[in-house]
Structures are given as structure tokens and as C-alpha cells.
Amino acid sequence: MRHQSGTEGDLAILVEGVTKSFGQVHALRGIDLAVPRGTVLGILGPNGAGKTTLVRVLTTLLRPGGGRALVEGHDVVREAAAVRRRIGLAGQSAAIQEELTGRENLQIVGRLYHLGRAKSRQRAAELLDQFDLTDAADRPAKTYSGGMQRRLDLAASLVASPSVLFLDEPTTGLDPRSRLGMWQVIRELVAAGTTLLLTTQYLDEADELANEIVVIDRGRVIAAGTAEQLKDRVGGDVLEFVVPDPARLSAAVAAVAELGHSAVQSDEETGKVSVPVGDRGSQSLVEAVRRLDAAGVNTDQMALRRPSLDDVFLSLTGHIAEDEQPAQRSGVGRGRGTRSKRGTR
């Protein structure tokens, strides 16, 4: 994987060859990660990929089967207490006590961290304010909306002012508005210097929040890089249309070739043309219509498709197959030429 430059001392999190099995289930099969201080690493992966298992290992809740993991330079097994003093965790299932009020929940966490009564009270009030929960502070948490409960849970993970924060799927199950609110809160934390490791099933979330993204699947890292690099592997947005007249297919491809940020693909059987347009989606759509019109090509079903997480995985699975057969490795085409789909098979 791509490690950012720097020595172990600059890293908030270092993971080397970490494995974990539950009986026959190999949840982690050798994970390597490096997270520089003050940055955000997004761990992207589908259900069962091993995200929560990794977070539990790094937060000392689970012992790794093998490998080693350091948080702020401390080994998660041999120096678990030192690690715990420096981290915060907001899990997939909120750890708040529903019968207690938001304020009480935060004060209890403060006492658990031995902040003392006055300091606990003060920290609770600060966090309630920061997370926009002051109005609801003295109601039982069970009366909170899902979004409010997530914010309270996140606030609880911050009581002891951790330098490294772990968020396991912080927005799964939230409505779009609460999700945006959560993103905003997370951005503020990062701006204040907190190192963040965040897991998510959403490409857009990783894109929005993470400096670096690691994609894991079935306990392995299958890709790593910035959001831009991952999108390049998928090809970004794809403009698709169908040319009903087979005789006009090559004219259509020629008309839109310059709009592709990598090779334009065409399928002679279906007449479908796919143009990877990167992040210039709607602009390219307008331009394609204009150029095809100028070339006198009729088209059907013109549509812009955004790459979904499915596309990323589809693309990445393809790359894994290539890795197994190095002779066929082709990398990501960046040329502006055209090639027929058949030719690439």
C-alpha cells in the first residue's frame, strides 16, 4: 500500500500484518495501515469486510491474532492502558444509556475518566453546546432522534479530549440532513487537529472526509489511495448512450473521443458507447449532445452514471484478478484514444 512519507514517530496509527480469526472466520487476513498525525483515514468496505473487527483491535477491545498495531506509538496489546488514555471511540451501535439524559451520559463518562465532578460538568456542557444538544440536554436520551443519539455518542467519545478518534460507521442509518450535520461536526474535529480513523460503507462519505482511503474486503486491503486516485481506477462519471445505426457507431465514438478522460468504449452488438468523463459530468453531457448533433449522429438513452460503491468494488475485483496474472496487468488507461470493448477482453 501507499504509505505517506514520514517515520514511525509521525504516525498516529501504524498497523502491520494484523490478523484476527473467529474460529473458521478469518475476519482480518493481514492488514497494513499507516495514519499520519492530524489526518483522516477512511476505511471503506462492504458488510463483513472486517471494519469493526479492525477498529476493535485498534481500540484494545479485541486482541489481534497476529501482527502488531501501534496507536500514538503504543502497542495495543502490551500498552493497552496507554492506548486507551489517548483514544476515543464511537461505535456502530451507540453506547449511550437511554434512561439517562444527554448531560448525565456525558458527566458519567467524565467521571469514568477521573475528570472530577466540576470538570466533568464543565466538559459535558461544552460538548452539548458543540454538538447542538443543549436544548435537549436534560431529556432522557431515549427521546432523542437517531441523529441526536449519534451526536451524543460522538460527544461521549470526546469527553477525555482524545488525540486519536475512531468512528465506526458514524452515519449509517441517518437521514441525509443528519448525515450532513455529522459530517460538519467531524470536519470541525479534524480542523482542531484530531487524528481520525473512520469506517464507512459509503464512497461519498470517505470522499468527503478522508485524506486517504483504504478499501478492505474479506479481511484484506484491496486498494488504497486518495479519493481521486480511487475514482480514477473506476473512471469517475460515465456518460453512456446508444447509437441505433451500427454504421454511425465509429462516427459517434470519434465525435466524443476528446471528452473521455480515458479510452471511450463502444460495443458493436448493442451500439452502446461509454465515455469516462471523470468529474466533468454534466458539462460533458452538454458537450456530447452538441458534438453528436454536429456530426449528424442519432442517439438514444443518453445518461450520466455516477460510479457507485458497486462500481468501485467491481473495478477493484477486476484489479485483483489482474494481480494474480501479472502478465495481463494493464493499469488504468489514461489515453484519449478509443478501443472497442471486445478488444480489451
Ligand X SMILES: Nc1ncnc2c1ncn2[C@@H]1O[C@H](COP(=O)(O)OP(=O)(O)OP(=O)(O)O)[C@@H](O)[C@H]1O
Q: How far apart are CA 218 and CA 204, in angstroms?
A: 21
Q: Where are the alpha helices (DSSP H) in 158-226?
A: 176-191, 203-209
Report the amino acid identity of residue 316. Answer: L
What letters, b where the CB count within 10 A reaches 16 and e where it falls short, cover 72-103?
Answer: bebebeebbeebbebbbbbbeebebeeeebbb
Asked if residue 52 binds Mg ion (CB under 5 A), the reply is yes
Asked if residue 49 binds ligand X (CB under 6 A), the reply is yes
Is the torsion defined by CA of 100, 104, 109, 112 positive or negative? negative
Residues touching Mg ion: how many (CB under 5 A)?
A: 3
Piece of 6-14, 44-52, 258-266, 337-345 that binds ligand X (CB under 6 A): 44-52
Nearest to Mg ion of 18, 137 (CB atom): 18
Find which of ligand X, Mg ion, none residue 91 binds, CB within 5 to 8 Å per kind.
Answer: none
Q: Where are the alpha helices (DSSP H) in 42-160?
A: 51-58, 80-86, 102-112, 117-130, 146-157
Nearest to Mg ion of 170, 271 (CB atom): 170
Piece of 43-51, 142-150, 235-243, 290-298 that binds ligand X (CB under 6 A): 43-51
Asked if residue 149 binds ligand X (CB under 6 A), the reply is no
User: Is 291 within 8 Å of 284 (Cβ atoms)?
Assistant: no
DSSP 8-state class, residue 69: E
Piece of 20-28, 159-167, 184-192, 260-268 that binds ligand X (CB under 6 A): 20-28
Torsion of CA 80, 84, 89, 93, to 10 degrees: 60
Exactly one of 1, 4, 25, 298 binds ligand X (CB under 6 A); that residue is 25
Piece of 48-56, 189-197, 228-236, 255-263 that binds ligand X (CB under 6 A): 48-56
User: Is 25 within 8 Å of 53 (Cβ atoms)?
Assistant: no
Least separation, in Å, of the C-beta of 92 and Mg ion? 5
Query: Within 54-93, which residues bind Mg ion (CB under 5 A)?
Result: 92
C-alpha cell at 119: 470538570
Nearest to ligand X of 51, 261 (CB atom): 51
Exactly one of 31, 34, 44, 45 binds ligand X (CB under 6 A); that residue is 45
Asked if residue 50 binds ligand X (CB under 6 A), the reply is yes
254: Cβ contacts below 8 Å, ≥ 6 apart: 295, 338
Which residues bind to ligand X, rule: CB under 6 A? 22, 25, 27, 45, 47-53, 92, 201
Which residues bind to Mg ion, rule: CB under 5 A? 51-52, 92
